[in-house]
Structure 1
Amino acid sequence: MPSDAAPRIGYVVKVYPRFSETFVVTEILAREALGEDLVVFALRPTDDARFHPELARVQAPVFHLGRATKPSALWSVLRDAAAGPPLADAIAAHLGELLSAEVDDAVQAVLLAAAARREGITHLHAHFGSVATTVARLASRLTGIPYSFTAHAKDLFHESVDRAALAQKLTDAAFTVTVSDYNLAFVREAFPGTGDVHRLYNGLELDRFRFRPRPLRRGPLRIAAVGRLVEKKGFDILIDAVALLRDTGVDVTADIAGTGELALDLADRIERAGVGDRVRLLGPLPQHEIARLLAESDVFVAPCVVSDDGNADGLPTVLLEAMATGIPCISTDVTGIPEVVRNGETGVLCRAGSAPDLVAALRGFAEGTTDAAALAARARRLVEERFDSRRQAAALAALTSNAGRRALEEVA
């Protein structure tokens, strides 16, 4: 249902708000700052107990779509939808596709379609090519409203990804964006000829991440690390590296902020390595406390690895935030990370999973043989040039406008 009405963008996300997905809020804020009219549709309620203060600045209304917990609820959704002839006809026309979907996805697609019509949505944009895009695509089929999505990492590389379903989403989307050149090359190679795909880095509100040169270090090398406590973050490698440095007389400490399924395993690893006086697990921290942690630390480490199930980081937002603030960074050669951590230029790059590499990199900072100030200054320039959320928002707005124009031309 292409329209020449004033654009109104519906953001479709699995959970909103989600503490670990600051990039979604940053993107919404940047698009709103451009004057775009947005609405958020969430498929699941949040279970996060803490929220970043930036959330309060979002103007977009938020609608949480229900789920069919029992058969009667499913029929209620369909009965309500059938009360409007256009949507009833669309459900009948696409019934086979709805029946082939998971029940939750089909129900929420119908709910999203009805809500999108009611709210005057002209374009749907989903984050992650998994359930949010499944629902957005089905709702698009029911309404004719074009959709797009951002592909990150797990939705591309995890062993559970349904390649045929992802190919269909890419083909049907008005456009797709993904967050690194590595991802873009992967999509184009793995899914040739399946749609209009662009690389668009996640952006930062640079005014919130002021560059502050590190003061002259006194005492132990203070390491900061931030992320969910899951396999792909590689925090076990960091713990091992701290133990190895201690054994060779290098004085270091490490603070790891985050929560996740490996919290107990990492705590046990710290105890077994005998580095409980050097490594702290801080739990989840809001962004202002992350900023303070970075300001008080000497080096930021993102020791990312590829998990056994294929899961990997695309390009961690917190790594970009660290680079923006002036703390020198160490990371690994996983997916898109080498596009920002350019070894010896904007940071130090290690082989993923290599504790000896990480030890050598940290030793360079501890002993002063690595020019931390030069790395940090070049890293900030790179972030300013390529990761400004205002540039990202303008690119998304242009892609969305072009998609709307094409849709109108197709029905003209």
Structure 2
Amino acid sequence: MKIAFIVGEFPVLSETFILNQITGLISRGHEVHIYGSRPDDMSKMHPDVERYQLLKRTYYVPSIATNYLVRVLKGLGLIVSNLHKSPLVVLRSLNFFKYGKYAISLRLLYSVIPLLPPKQYDIIHGQFGMHGIEGQVFRDIGAIKGRLITSFRGYDISYYVQECGEDVYNELFVKGDFFLANCEFFRQKAINLGCERDKIVVLRSGIDCSRFQFKVRSPNLNDKIRIVTVGRLVEKKGIEYGIRALAKVANVHPNVEYNIIGDGYLKEELHLLIEELRITDKVKLLGWKNQQEIIDILDNSHLFIAPSVTAQDGNQDAPVNTLKEAMAMGLPVIGTLHGGIPELVQDGVSGFLVPERDADAIAEKLIYLIEHPHIWEQMGRMGRTCVEENYDINKLNDKLVNIYQLLATSPPQSNQAELPVVRANRKYINP
């Protein structure tokens, strides 16, 4: 099959779930093309990007200037140099009446340039809800052809809906051919927003278990208990509560060390919190690491925390991959009663679950684990079993291919009645 992935920035270290699908499809003999934006920083990339030569399969949107006059002048150049490839598509991308700010800002014009002349695919896969909307528009104006499938993964079905309104996906739910959610929690959200129940299934986000070797965890006498969290330093990851919990644990067990892998806009704020709690000798913000560096740190750690919370803007997490990776490697884990995490962690069996924003509860479970190391092995084995059975990327990629094949060979939907014109203030693209 010939498959188009519509993404945001690519490649991004924090989105291995997309990378795993791409490499899995290529390994199975399918042709994959990637459409997205070039990240500002490409100094750290997953080794699979080079191994599979993915940059050669990636088609980037031309850079869009912040200054509107510069953007217009460059846009005129793009029109002149690309009009002959598909005059109708270029002109439709400038339809201000139908596409509002998306067209007025010239973002639609810039976005379709990599697709010219128009492309034909078996499957068009929008990797988040907003990219599904993009795929729908690209298909409507004739820039791309194929069956459209959209994945809901987290912030697109939580924060994005709160920001743009509960009707933001109405047109996509009608025009889209099929939908995936990475957990039941988000599938139900999509259904509540208007997605037909029969048009959406759960396809979990997987990891390559063979890359994460299981090891029985046990404390070393007279050595530190190493605790770790992996995640962006943003509100929904709840890192603040992990830090506050560690401060409480350190009062009882001073031989603890907390390593936090990731970066983000809260970095300075978290630095100040660590200083305020006087635990600079015990908590380290390690910044971004590539996958092998993360594996090495996990391999030398004892316990894992995923303190995710619902952010003030409504943003929520699915069962995060870094939590799966820790479980696959045998670390006892502590997660929160948040989003899709309870679908991954069975409380008291493969880890512990605590309420959101509850540093005391996290501290209590950490102290319990530190004082009861004999349960680490069983909990770690149960975590590994759960990930192998439910989140193995090879099994999940086989399911993805089956879904693609069924969709590609099934008859198209009956012609839908013409939908209302896209609102002039469409919110899914920033002006």
Common fold, TM-score beyond 0.5? Answer: yes
1:352 to 350, 353, 356: 356
Q: How has the CA–CA distance of structure 1 residues 67 and 250 changed in structure 2, closer, same or farther, with 3 Å as cutoff?
A: closer
Secondary structure of the corresponding residue to residue 176 of structure 1? strand
Q: Residue type matched to 1:358 in 2?
A: I
Q: Does 2:179 align with 1:176?
A: yes
Structure 1 runs (4+) deviating above 4 angstroms are: 78-82, 84-90, 92-96, 407-411
The 8 Å contact of residues 305 and 312 in structure 1, kept in 2 or not, is answered as yes
Query: Displacement, 1:48?
Result: 4.0
Q: Residue type matched to 1:142 in 2?
A: I
Query: Displacement, 1:55?
Result: 1.7
Number of equivalences: 402
Q: Residue type matched to 1:31 in 2?
A: L
Q: How has the CA–CA distance of structure 1 residues 236 and 127 changed in structure 2, closer, same or farther, with 3 Å as cutoff?
A: same
Query: Displacement, 1:278?
Result: 0.8
Secondary structure of the corresponding residue to residue 371 of structure 1? helix
Secondary structure of the corresponding residue to residue 279 of structure 2? coil
Q: How has the CA–CA distance of structure 1 residues 378 and 122 changed in structure 2, closer, same or farther, with 3 Å as cutoff?
A: same
Secondary structure of the corresponding residue to residue 315 of structure 1? coil
5+ residue gaps in structure 1? Answer: 1-6
Q: Does 2:381 align with 1:380?
A: no
**Whole-angstrom distance in 1 between the partners of 2:198 and 2:95:** 22
Cα distance per residue 1:353-398 (max 9 Å; x no partner): 1111101110111101661111110111111111111122122222
Cα distance per residue 1:74-121 (max 9 Å; x no partner): 34444555424684498399774344535344114432542552xx43
Q: Residue type matched to 1:283 in 2?
A: G
1:405 to 406, 409, 424: 409
The 8 Å contact of residues 37 and 60 in structure 2, kept in 1 or not, is answered as yes
Q: Does 2:14 align with 1:17?
A: no
Q: How has the CA–CA distance of structure 1 residues 256 and 405 changed in structure 2, closer, same or farther, with 3 Å as cutoff?
A: same
The 8 Å contact of residues 151 and 177 in structure 1, kept in 2 or not, is answered as yes
Q: Does 2:43 align with 1:41?
A: no
Greater mean deviation of Cα atoms: 263-272 or 41-50: 41-50
**Whole-angstrom distance in 2 between the partners of 1:406 and 1:82:** 34
Secondary structure of the corresponding residue to residue 36 of structure 2? strand
Aligned position for 1:53: 47
TM-score (norm 2): 0.86
What pairs up with 1:391-402 in 2 under 5 angstroms? Answer: 391-402=395-406
Q: Does 2:191 align with 1:197?
A: no
Q: Over aligned residue pairs, what C-alpha RMSD do you find?
A: 2.5
Cα distance per residue 1:184-208 (max 9 Å; x no partner): 1111122243871111111111111
5+ residue gaps in structure 2? Answer: 66-70, 416-431
Cα distance per residue 1:52-92 (max 9 Å; x no partner): 21221224411112155422333444455542468449839
The 8 Å contact of residues 68 and 74 in structure 1, kept in 2 or not, is answered as no
1:340 to 344, 363, 366: 344
What pairs up with 1:1-400 in 2 under 5 angstroms? Answer: 7-60=1-54, 61-67=57-63, 69=65, 70-79=71-80, 82-84=83-85, 87-88=88-89, 91=92, 96-99=97-100, 101-102=102-103, 103-114=105-116, 116-117=118-119, 120-130=120-130, 132-143=131-142, 144-158=145-159, 159-193=162-196, 196-218=199-221, 219-249=223-253, 251-368=255-372, 371-400=375-404
Same amino acid, percent of matched pairs: 24
